[in-house]
Chain A
Amino acid sequence: MSNTVMERLPANAATRGTLSAGRRIITSPKYAPVLVTLGLFIAMFVSGGVRYDNFWSPQVLLNLFVDNAYLIVLAVGMTFVILTGGIDLSVGSVIALSAMICAKLLEAGVPAAGVIAVTLVATSLLGLGMGLMIHVFKVQPFIATLAGMFLARGLCYVISEASISINDPFFVSMASTRIPLGGSASITISVIIALLVVAIAFYVLHYSRFGRTVYALGGSEQSGTLMGLPVGRTKVLVYVVSGLCSGISGVLYSFYTLSGYSLTAVGTELDAIAAVVIGGTLLTGGYGFVLGSALGVLVLGLIQTMISYEGTLSSWWTRIFIGGLLLVFIVLQKVLTRRRN
């Protein structure tokens, strides 16, 4: 009798060959979107090389990291939030705010290390505030982080309406130092930091109780509670993580632009959300990988690069392509999760 039950199990790897294991991965809401993204990235890179001269160079690939280091970090924080089924609209404004805090404090002569510490603490506290609003006061994430978005952007203006440039030697060196990777290829320190953040986030999500609770929250908050997991604390903490990541992202952004300006990074939250979704994280939470989000950022970067190589296509096509990709991935997610129900 037990055999008849078992035979109907699609996931019984012991009795099925690798072929079905492959099928399982392709139709799994956990892996399928990431694989699609990876395939997309490779296809785009290959077709770019076929289409344009000088496209297949290591530096083109590395520049994706160089130009989008801050976005990778931002997407990492957003991944934590979206995995729990929440959303953080404040991240774009927080980038501007932390770049602004950096610029202002450096202008006032505070040493670089202190500046960065203050910035990260400030943005983490902002995340904590939003997390508490969401958990303690049951305010919807959308509204709570909308308030955070307004607050951060408003504080930028309060600090300074005009753009402040950064001349601090440490920041300047971070901006200009290139780490050679053989040949003419090189990366910036920001890239190292971004990759480090991705690695830490990966470790936290997959090898810590906190990380597994993040996934549990996205699966079912009620089940998580019944299983005795620290649901409330985790819910608040993901917004702190997102705040911290936005802060780091803002610091990297100021390395990149060497200035603080209140109108920068408007709408970056949309890029971050798009990168996370395209990277295979389910917007309803529970499924996704931080590596996928990084891959999502690279896809967005690649779209931009290809459009600039194309020459005749204007930059606004980027948004349209991103919107189209979003549609494809959201419908894909819908199809994959509907099969389960």
Chain B
Amino acid sequence: MSAQLRNFTGSRIFWPVVILVGLVIVDVIAFPGFLDITVKEGHLFGAPIDILRNGAPTLLIGVGMTLVIATRGIDLSVGSIAAISGAVVSALLLNSPTPDNPWTVVQAVGIALILGFILGVWNGTLVAYLKIQPIIATLILMTAGRGVAMLITEGQILTLHSKPFEWFGSGFIVGFPVAVVIAAVVLILTMLVVRRSALGMFIESVGINPEASRQAGIRSRGLLLGIYAFCALLAALAGLIITSDQTAADANNTGLFIELDAILAVVIGGTSLMGGRFSLIGTLVGVLVIQTLVTTVYIVGIPPVATMVFKAVVVIAVSLLQSPTTNEKFANWRKDRRRPTPTKAIEPKREKVSA
């Protein structure tokens, strides 16, 4: 086994990648054309593209969630923020005399994103300045947020007719769906910013040892505020994509449970809920596992509604695999297995003893 391979098998994303590959193999066996990608009118189609497109909103939120979780936090409000952003953009476009004017759409999208950012600042303030536990602080907006979204849509499902806005959900850029391109750009930019600047190190440092980080001079409050704001901004962006894809804003269902999918993706990707070291690539793998799972369940012919059961199985499997108890047992088992090796070396002695 080469060192690189050993590095990979020892890494936290090894098991998720194995699960992903396993799922894809199941799919290919069940449906030989699974990996086929066709080109129609210069646009790519096929199951892999669908997986990417359906996973884009979860990935966007997952990117923000990864950073939040790395600081020992969590953000439950992302689904509600997505709903609010979808509702805002729809309300603005519906009340606009010129919904097909790209400038109008840019303005509406801008307002929705700024609002998302502000909601993130709110979350961040509760967490960083009022020192309220993140799970509790974001629960407030999670609960109230859907009400706010309903308020904006006045309880209606707002159907949208705006060509430029529909581009988010159904357009293509050099063959790829716009949503996929946006998610990819956000992922890559975030990775670049976080890893090329010192931001990633600061985030991990605060997540691993907050007091040591403080003594080294990190002002963690500003950092936390920024991360919650960034996460909410991405949630708003995801909300826009979902709304555009469905050409309707549904305050009740836009982004419903997406916080759970995103957290799940982060955890599957090997970022611990205890904070510290994080992996954005891991989150990508996590999102792909979830989306492939959904697609697999569909392709294999299990009623799609049973997906939840499989998600549950994945959560249980991953959390048990990462559990300290399991690791301890596994380590003991490996130790027990390794023990016989040295006894072989002293075999002559043993003969003597038995004789």
Interface residues, chain A, with chain B CB atoms under 8 Å away: 87, 133, 136-140, 142-144, 146-151, 153-155, 157-158, 161, 262, 266, 270, 273-274, 283-284, 314-324, 326-327, 330-331, 334
| B325 and A334 form a contact (CB under 8 A) | no
Known contacts A157-B303, A334-B131: does B143 contact A323 (CB below 8 Å)? yes
Task: Show 15 A/B contacts (Cβ-Cβ < 8 Å), sorted by A.
Answer: A133-B316, A138-B325, A140-B273, A150-B260, A151-B313, A157-B305, A157-B309, A158-B303, A283-B133, A284-B133, A316-B151, A319-B150, A323-B145, A324-B144, A331-B130
Main secondary structure of the interface of B (DSSP, over half): helix
> Quick check: is B223 within 8 A (CB to CB) of the other chain?
no
Enumerate chain B residues within 8 angstroms of A161, measured Cβ to Cβ.
303, 305
Interface residues, chain B, with chain A CB atoms under 8 Å away: 74, 130-133, 135-137, 139-151, 154-155, 251, 256, 260, 263-264, 267, 273, 303, 305-313, 315-316, 319-320, 323-326
Enumerate chain A residues within 8 angstroms of B130, measured Cβ to Cβ.
331, 334
How far, in whole Å, are A324 and B139 apart by their CA atoms in the complex?
11
By beta carbon, the residue of chain B nearest A271 is B143
How far, in whole Å, are A334 and B308 apart by their CA atoms in the complex?
36
Partner pick for A274 among B143, B313, B324, CB 8 A cutoff: B143
| A316 and B303 form a contact (CB under 8 A) | no
Known contacts A154-B307, A330-B136: does B143 contact A318 (CB below 8 Å)? no
| B315 and A150 form a contact (CB under 8 A) | yes
Known contacts A273-B139, A330-B136: does B315 contact A143 (CB below 8 Å)? yes
| A150 and B312 form a contact (CB under 8 A) | yes
How far, in whole Å, are A330 and B143 apart by their CA atoms in the complex?
13
Known contacts A142-B273, A330-B137: does B320 contact A151 (CB below 8 Å)? no
How far, in whole Å, are A142 and B74 apart by their CA atoms in the complex?
11
Enumerate chain A residues within 8 angstroms of B325, measured Cβ to Cβ.
136-138
Known contacts A87-B135, A143-B315, A143-B319: does B144 contact A151 (CB below 8 Å)? no
By beta carbon, the residue of chain B nearest A319 is B147
Enumerate chain B residues within 8 angstroms of A324, measured Cβ to Cβ.
144
By beta carbon, the residue of chain A nearest B274 is A140
How far, in whole Å, are A318 and B136 apart by their CA atoms in the complex?
19
How far, in whole Å, are A337 and B154 apart by their CA atoms in the complex?
39
Enumerate chain B residues within 8 angstroms of A322, measured Cβ to Cβ.
143-144, 147
By beta carbon, the residue of chain A nearest B148 is A320
How far, in whole Å, are A148 and B143 apart by their CA atoms in the complex?
21
Enumerate chain A residues within 8 angstroms of B320, measured Cβ to Cβ.
133, 137, 139
Known contacts A319-B144, A319-B146, A322-B144: does B306 contact A158 (CB below 8 Å)? yes
Known contacts A139-B319, A151-B309: does B151 contact A317 (CB below 8 Å)? yes
